[in-house]
């Protein structure tokens, strides 16, 4: 960490001297907590400093950085950097496209720290976010392979809205004679203003059999399959004298190889992919080679039966299935490599199907994380953040000297030590300072607990510590093979 910006300069005014002094004292308290010996049973702490272990964390940094509650104050960057520096490798979510905040954070972490990230995702539900890994290069090195995870073919999500048509000018249909459209008993909606309601995406209306869709200009017949060498004769489609018979009459039927090709941009395919593209990076720390995939899974709604919650579960299931295939391929060639998925999965609860989807396809959340009695949000009642390791079909190769051993895990509660209030802040010495900072962005002190989550985050960092020194095991394998 580089603390030079906290040095009081002769030209500093009273306010600057005060925030630098206060930040220095807060950092001392924060460092004491980060470096404290682990207390038995305390899961709201940072890991120890065992050099034979790799410390991995995931942290959703709320809107890093946006002005919705005012941009982060200078001291917040020191606190964020101090917490991150307690680990060796950290996956960050909600890093925005504008890199100024991340660059400021990296500068404070110092020259030994590096980052690797995606470009900003421009999808409609991605909020211009990046997936980012930051890591201590004295402890971790990038193996040279990184990529975004995209779905293809039968592996696409294929949710109910994956084949929606978005035709310019609206949809025109012709109903069969004597039919009508049934009005739903109730269309669930949310009130978005005085007297204004938004139609819920779950509102669907069944069309009578035989309903005709008036196709937009630019629609074409596409012949996807190559005709047989000596002719093409399926149902009523024929090739004769090297000409395709398109038939006569106003009603025509074509067999399977003939398809409709829609004008570009009129079929919504975004829901076949992840709302925010997962990011896989291969690292090595000491003897451990590990591929980490960081995610920020679609949220939408917590309402059971809603299409948004269905999408969330589908994204998690597609993720573990795709990663499992990659892990098996990698494990076949290198039995000493590990795979993990970590980030904001928006898991509804440990018992919910969203967790079942994560703990599938060979992935497992370590017992040390499952034993944590509270969630990773500030209120400690949400289980959105998770870390899961691929276990395969019974472990790694028999000749492997490496092993996946989670030595410790926890969630570090940053607000025990910084941005405190009430009983957390004996004497309330900082209240006047924070009142003034909040007034600058049009917020009252009643919003303090929400405001401080925009300084740090509404998530707390979740971490695991895994063994990384396999020198003895490797030497033993050499003796056994001699």
CATH of residue 299: 3.60.10.10
Instruction: State the average pLDDT over residues 214-227.
Output: 76
Asked whether residue 350 is domain-assigned, the answer is yes
The model carries a pTM of 0.83
Strands (E), 224-272: 233-234, 237-240, 243-244, 258-261
Helix (H) or strand (E) holding 454: helix 448-455
- The span from the CA of 34 to the CA of 45, in Å, is 7
Q: What is the dihedral of CA 232, 236, 241, 242, to 10 degrees?
A: -60
- The span from the CA of 199 to the CA of 189, in Å, is 5
Q: Report the DSSP pairing between strands 89-96 and 53-64.
A: parallel
Residue 298 predicted with pLDDT over 90: yes
- The span from the CA of 297 to the CA of 295, in Å, is 6
Asked whether residue 63 is domain-assigned, the answer is yes
Asked whether residue 351 is domain-assigned, the answer is yes
Q: Going by C-beta distance under 8 Å and a sequence separation of 6 or more, which residues neighbour residue 398?
A: none
Tens of pLDDT along 301-312? 898 988 889 999
Instruction: State the average pLDDT over residues 57-73.
Output: 94
Asked whether residue 300 is domain-assigned, the answer is yes
- The span from the CA of 148 to the CA of 314, in Å, is 18
Asked whether residue 250 is domain-assigned, the answer is no
Tens of pLDDT along 88-100? 999 999 999 999 9
- The span from the CA of 33 to the CA of 86, in Å, is 10
Residue 188 tokens read as 């669930």
Nearest residue to 368 (alpha-carbon basis) of 402, 324, 405: 405
Question: Residue 348: pLDDT band by 50, 70, 90 thresholds?
Answer: very high
As for how many domains the chain has, the answer is 1
Asked whether residue 160 is domain-assigned, the answer is no
- The span from the CA of 455 to the CA of 451, in Å, is 7
Asked whether residue 223 is domain-assigned, the answer is no
Q: How deeply is 161 buried, as exposed, middle or buried, from its count of CB atoms within 10 A (0-12, 13-18, 19+)?
A: middle
What pLDDT shows up at residue 478? 80
Which residues constitute the domain of residue 149? 4-155+273-418+456-481
Asked whether residue 129 is domain-assigned, the answer is yes
What pLDDT shows up at residue 234? 44
Tens of pLDDT along 118-175? 999 887 777 899 999 999 999 999 999 999 999 887 788 877 666 677 777 788 899 9
């Amino acid at each position: 960490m580089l603390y030079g910006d906290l040095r009081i300069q002769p030209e500093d005014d009273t306010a600057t001297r005060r925030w630098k002094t206060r930040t220095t004292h807060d950092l001392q308290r924060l460092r004491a907590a980060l470096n404290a010996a682990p207390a038995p049973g305390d899961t709201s702490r940072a890991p120890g400093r065992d050099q034979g272990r790799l410390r991995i964390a995931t942290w959703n940094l709320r809107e890093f950085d946006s002005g919705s509650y005012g941009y982060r104050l200078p001291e917040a960057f020191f606190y964020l950097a101090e917490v991150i520096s307690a680990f060796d490798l950290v996956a960050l979510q909600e890093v925005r496209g504008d890199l100024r905040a991340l660059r400021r954070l990296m500068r404070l972490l110092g020259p030994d720290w590096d980052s690797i990230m995606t470009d900003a995702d421009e999808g409609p539900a991605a909020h211009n976010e990046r997936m980012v890994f930051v890591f201590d290069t004295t402890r971790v090195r990038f193996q040279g392979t990184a990529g975004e995870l995209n779905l293809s073919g039968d592996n696409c999500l294929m949710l109910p809205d994956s084949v929606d048509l978005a035709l310019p000018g609206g949809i025109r249909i012709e109903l069969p004679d004597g039919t009508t459209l049934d009005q739903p008993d109730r269309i669930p909606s949310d009130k978005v203003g005085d007297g204004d309601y938004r139609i819920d995406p779950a509102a669907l209306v069944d069309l009578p059999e035989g309903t005709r869709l008036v196709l937009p200009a630019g629609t074409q017949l596409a012949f996807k399959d190559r005709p047989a060498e000596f002719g093409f004769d399926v149902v009523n489609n024929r090739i004769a004298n090297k000409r395709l018979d398109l038939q006569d009459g106003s009603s025509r039927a074509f067999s399977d190889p003939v398809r409709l090709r829609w004008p570009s941009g009129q079929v919504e395919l975004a829901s076949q992919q992840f709302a925010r593209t997962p990011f896989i990076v291969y690292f090595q720390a000491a003897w451990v080679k590990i591929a980490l995939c960081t995610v920020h899974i679609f949220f939408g709604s917590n309402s059971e039966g809603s299409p948004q919650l269905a999408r969330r579960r589908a994204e998690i299931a597609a993720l573990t299935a795709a990663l499992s295939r990659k892990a098996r391929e990698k494990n076949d060639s290198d039995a000493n490599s590990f795979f993990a998925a970590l980030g904001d999965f928006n898991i509804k609860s440990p018992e919910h199907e969203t967790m079942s989807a994560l703990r599938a396809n060979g992935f497992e959340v370590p017992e040390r994380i499952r034993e944590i009695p509270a969630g990773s949000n500030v209120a400690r009642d949400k289980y959105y953040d998770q870390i899961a390791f691929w276990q395969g079909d019974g472990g790694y190769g028999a000749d492997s000297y490496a092993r996946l051993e989670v030595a410790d895990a926890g969630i570090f509660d940053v607000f025990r030590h910084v941005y405190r209030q009430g009983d957390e802040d004996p004497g309330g010495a900082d209240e006047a300072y924070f009142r003034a900072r909040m007034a600058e962005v049009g917020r009252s002190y009643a919003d303090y607990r929400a405001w401080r989550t925009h300084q740090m985050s509404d998530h707390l960092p979740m971490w695991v510590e895994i063994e990384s020194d396999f020198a003895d095991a490797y030497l033993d394998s050499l003796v056994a093979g001699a």
